[in-house]
Amino acid sequence: MILMRTLEPSPLANRFFLAIVLTAILFATGCADMRGRLARSLPLHGTPDDAIERNDFVVAGDGDVIGRLATMGLERGDTLPDIARHFSLGINDISAANPGVDMWVPGARERILLPLNFILPDTRRNGIVINLATMRLFYYHKNGNRLAVSTYPVGVGTEERPTPMGEMVITRKKHRPTWYVPASIAADHRKKGDPLPSEVPPGPLNPLGEYALYLSEPSYLIHGTNKPASIGLRATNGCIRLYPEDIERLFEKAPVKTAVLIVNQPYLVGRRDGVVYLEANMPFQESGTANWKTAYAKLKRFETQSGIQLDWKKVKAVVIEARGIPVPVSVDRGGAVTAAAQPVRLRHPGRLVGQPEIPAFDTDAWYVLAASLRDRTDARRLAAIINHQGPPIPARVLSEGDRHRVLAGPFDSRRAARDAARRLKIDLELDAVPFES
């Protein structure tokens, strides 16, 4: 019997940084040159970042495509997880759209693509629809007499403990839920030398975050998280996980008894303003080819019934690249593939939502030496990874000559420093050493 097994990260989830690195490697081939040409073609002046919508859209008629692409230049200290969270994107979204960009230490002034346009899943348009393949949730609701949709990135179940598909319903909602640790998860943590209490009250250590929507499928929830850098990864025991700010919005909007449909559609076809778009995502290994057959049939139907000519070489290229971005594949009257809308060039925000804050160095506090490295970039990367643990552990790089020390802290007691060192050992396999400064 599975009892609330999905309410906390799997043993692999606590090493989410490894999954992020692997994700970046998977998407490291493809359209880096295309992204560079796109960035160089943009106008010089930027638009404020809050001028582009990222969550709430009106669905126009029988249209299937919402939002639009954007680009933004990076600044020193940025990480792709921070950029992703600020724009309500998942790690999967931003890594696939920017192959070859270092996840944790991207180049300052490098311009990245923000994939803020989406093709709606090929399903009914009411209640909540979750597409596992795109790791994205869509909540359909009314905006006056118009159909509207709110969309958020999610974290989903691992291959070993996948998120179930099918029809469900929200049975109850809870602000500041208590997590009752299931036996299976307790056993996993004991094996790692990380025993858990029988229940975890609301607070920073609670993996459910501040809000939870309980589903009719027993033991599965849509909830927040204390590990926001895992959004856009297969990192849960089956639950659906959202950024803290996104679950708060969904909690307020979606009432009890809202229908929930979970599907797996890596290939999506849609139309907007007479243009046919194809979106291809890296399919889950176990998902097979059924969805591609459906998408292919839809493309053929558009071509035969609507008289819209498609460029099948472009279709093939989109499928191979699998960048998770809607791409025009129809041909205009001149015989050329319809050009994509020019992305909006955004100015860098003054402050990124949820970006970890590093306290000032305190000579009277405790610290943890996480590593001493010769390469400064490697040290910065490790510090960034530690900063994005959940709950966060502040970390910085102190350089002296050709050595770069990664220090976690400050902590107000030896016990707190020892607890942090223990977490770094369990989560990241680092032999960290506490010390008093």
Q: Rounded to an integer, what is the distance from CA 323 to the centroid of its chain?
A: 14
Whether 141 is catalytic: no
What would the DSSP string read from start to end of 215-274? ESSTT-EEE--S-GGGTTSEEESS-EE--HHHHHHHHHHSPTT-EEEEE--SEEEEEETT
- Of 14, 11, 10, give the one whose Cα is nearest residue 428: 14
Whether 348 is catalytic: no
Which residue among 239, 348, 388, 404 is the active-site one? 239
Alpha carbon distance 55, 65 (integer Å): 13
Q: What residues does 344 pair with on adjacent strands? A: 70
How many Cβ atoms sit within 10 Å of the Cβ of residue 43?
9
| Residue 223 C-beta-side C-alpha neighbours within 13 Å | 34
Which residue among 86, 223, 388, 404 is the active-site one? 223
Is residue 156 within 8 A of residue 237, CB to CB? The reply is no
Q: Verify cis geometry, omega within 30 degrees of 0, for the bond prior to 121.
A: no
- Of 37, 75, 41, 73, give the one whose Cα is nearest residue 347: 73
Alpha carbon distance 242, 248 (integer Å): 9
User: Residues 390-396: contacts with CB within 8 Å, 24+ apart?
Assistant: 390/225, 390/226, 390/227, 390/228, 390/229, 390/230, 391/204, 391/205, 391/226, 392/356, 393/420, 393/423, 393/424, 394/356, 394/357, 394/358, 394/359, 395/358, 395/370, 396/358, 396/361
In this structure, what token pair is assigned to residue 125?
A: 């348009």
Is residue 69 within 8 A of residue 325, CB to CB? The reply is yes
Catalytic residue IDs: 223, 239
